[in-house]
Structure 1
């Protein structure tokens, strides 16, 4: 659409329970969405938890190279988790009332139904403001951060989905990153017509190296937490033919790092496993470019931006056959799937890719580069701008 054909700018309020400096898929999506909308001339405001204890306020922040107003609400750290912060619910409602009465947004786009999104949805609905909701949250994953017994967790999962349903019913449109995630949401709530909209990325931000590899490097990017099942990858490495001399780089940090470091030592592979901790975007992209295979064993991905980043870096993907990952991995074309938790099968898949001829390996790389094109961020932005205006998105 040309600049002269574009409608008048919208005032968009994006509500997030997790945002920069947090490192996770929901936060990354919100950052890219907000920055992309600013580049298109929209007026974007973001609501997110304060970074430091009880230090709220409205700040002009630079997100993905774009300046926007971020309204930071006073928050408290959930110490069993490595980064999770939360706003007190009763204070969130008060903050939402004051902000909406002052800002008068055209649309509210909530990124979860937990606290910030819930408050904005409730107060926005009272004022007749159009609400769009994107679900990045499964109650099952949230409860991994608690210390509750399993029986209590199961009861709370059922309650969590009913609670999500009550918030999401206020939205004119509900989206999730993939069709499988949309189906999952519809099975667990009364929401129907959930739209799959990719989180998107700009593939040109990543560099693919299509030359033959001199070393066999596996890489994983993401939070080092339970649902990522990184231990499955570690257990697979000793099963791979030692002659292939496989190493493994884990890009990211989280509450499971110490346990995984101990597991690597117990398996006798500590010298072949590198934990980077948190890194810059440039370092992350370099780790992907120089790797041989991206491996992800997670069983709870609603899309996996990290996997798309690996595809944009021209990597073959080996992923657990769970949740949304099969949407990204085309079996035998740009990688392989394995049964979740089966480290022996994962090891076989790793060996299979590393034993490909240079021509076969490069064909798999090119397949990843081709497959990621449908996740271009501009398609995502087009879709959400249409939803904000109450229009039907282009197919």
Structure 2
């Protein structure tokens, strides 16, 4: 098959979405599929040649508060031309931001089958990012969603005429948005906060235009359906490469705990630090390694200092994924307080190495971590319960071993080869159904 992948985040940026796309793409190409990836440009980064994979980069800028993330605003007609020239069987959109929207519009214009993956829980994430204020497009964003001009464009023949318009050939997305989406007589001029209501409306606008929506967990599939996504929705794990993971052999207590992931405020790593401090105060003799980097790192380091535990918490910064999966076995448990995990590849990789997980009862974590079996799950934001979970696991070698071995067994179904085989079949079904004018059966 010939597949276009559109994403607002890609290498060299490091996150779960990038990991999933890069791994899926590599295996799909090895199986003979041809891939075109449309992604932002990252400074001087140069892509390594990969057989069967072509990458088109668009100029992008970064957030003031997050230099790693790039925002591309390409000419819509340019993206449409590149996709058309590639002549794909389908388009797979992985992100709901600027490039993702452009990719969706281009695929609609070309009448191509569309798969979208819902990686990020938009209601929580949009409120955290406050994208409108970061980019200064809050009024425009509210106008787009409230006026439903975007929806009208997609459902009428207008978009076909827009794509063909010579006036748009050299026009960027910002010009398009201002000209076609921004100003209408009936638009609400107020600029409300990005509430869950607005986020779900935006979600429905985008994802209901798909032939198939994929989510990395059953929990997220149910959330989308409950909030009015009527396109076919199926769940498919992002998958992990079990062959890369070093498996824990001894469950003798090391007194070492780990948290890994991007240090964003939405990840609630401060709750982990506070719970760890409380566990220390209750007599636990341990250290906590915090792996990763991000905008919350400075405040977390200050928090550790303020709590008087800076000697017990190490901020290791970025550690390459291939190295990290070889080091999880050294720890007693993985600890997270994130409430926005749609799956959590780092959790799966830690479990694959044989670590029990301490997490919170939010989104996909209880689906991945079965409390009492492969870890302990507590209420979100509950510092005391998180501390007690740390104390319990650190005091019971047999419990850690039982949970760790169960965790290792539970993640076998996420093996990357199995996942990509299922993705291939979903691609074939979607392309065939769209060609026959039939809905995809999810």
What TM-score do you get using the length of structure 2 for normalisation?
0.80
* Structure 2 counterpart of 1:276: 316
Match of 1:119 among 95, 102, 114: 102
Deviation at 1:255, TM superposition (A): 0.1
1:1-395 matches, cutoff 5 A: 10-52=1-43, 61=48, 68-88=53-73, 91-137=74-120, 138-146=122-130, 148=133, 154-155=193-194, 157-241=196-280, 243-357=283-397, 359-390=398-429
SS of structure 2 residue aligned to 1:129: coil
Deviations 1:365-394 (A, max 9, x none): 110110001111122212221121126999
Structure 2: state its 5+ residue gaps.
135-189, 434-439
Larger radius of gyration: 2
Deviations 1:263-321 (A, max 9, x none): 00001110111111112223312331211100010011111111001111110101111
Q: Is the 8 A contact 2:207 2:229 kept in 1?
A: no
Which is further off, 295-304 or 187-196?
187-196
RMSD across aligned positions (CA): 2.5
- Relative to structure 1, the CA distance from residue 288 to residue 45 in structure 2 (aligned partners, 3 Å threshold; closer, same or farther) is same
Q: Distance in 2 between matches of 1:337 and 1:29?
A: 25
- Relative to structure 1, the CA distance from residue 360 to residue 146 in structure 2 (aligned partners, 3 Å threshold; closer, same or farther) is closer
Deviation at 1:108, TM superposition (A): 0.7
Q: Distance in 2 between matches of 1:170 and 1:348?
A: 46
Q: Is the 8 A contact 1:60 1:69 kept in 2?
A: no
- Relative to structure 1, the CA distance from residue 41 to residue 60 in structure 2 (aligned partners, 3 Å threshold; closer, same or farther) is farther
Deviation at 1:156, TM superposition (A): 5.3
- Relative to structure 1, the CA distance from residue 367 to residue 163 in structure 2 (aligned partners, 3 Å threshold; closer, same or farther) is same
Q: Is the 8 A contact 1:61 1:67 kept in 2?
A: no
Deviation at 1:237, TM superposition (A): 1.4
Aligned length: 377
Structure 1: state its 5+ residue gaps.
1-9
Deviation at 1:103, TM superposition (A): 0.9
Deviation at 1:141, TM superposition (A): 0.6
- Relative to structure 1, the CA distance from residue 350 to residue 177 in structure 2 (aligned partners, 3 Å threshold; closer, same or farther) is same
Q: Is the 8 A contact 2:376 2:389 kept in 1?
A: yes
Q: Distance in 1 between matches of 2:275 and 2:191?
A: 32
Q: Is the 8 A contact 2:34 2:52 kept in 1?
A: no
Q: Is the 8 A contact 1:236 1:344 kept in 2?
A: yes
Deviation at 1:101, TM superposition (A): 2.4
Deviations 1:5-53 (A, max 9, x none): xxxxx11111111111112221211111111211212111211100128
SS of structure 1 residue aligned to 2:386: helix
Q: Distance in 2 between matches of 1:208 and 1:103?
A: 42
Deviations 1:303-361 (A, max 9, x none): 1111001111110101111111001111111111011111110011111111113x432
Q: Distance in 2 between matches of 1:105 and 1:244?
A: 57
Q: Is the 8 A contact 2:254 2:330 kept in 1?
A: no
SS of structure 2 residue aligned to 1:270: coil
Deviations 1:67-125 (A, max 9, x none): 7221111111111224221112xx34133112112211111111022221221221112
Q: Distance in 2 between matches of 1:213 and 1:77?
A: 45
Q: Distance in 2 between matches of 1:336 and 1:365?
A: 11
Q: Is the 8 A contact 1:15 1:111 kept in 2?
A: yes
- Relative to structure 1, the CA distance from residue 152 to residue 336 in structure 2 (aligned partners, 3 Å threshold; closer, same or farther) is farther
- Relative to structure 1, the CA distance from residue 134 to residue 92 in structure 2 (aligned partners, 3 Å threshold; closer, same or farther) is farther
Deviations 1:110-146 (A, max 9, x none): 1022221221221112222111110113143134223
What TM-score do you get using the length of structure 1 for normalisation?
0.89
User: Which of 1 and 2 has higher RCO (CA within 8 Å, sep 6+)?
Assistant: 2
Q: Distance in 1 between matches of 2:194 and 2:400?
A: 47
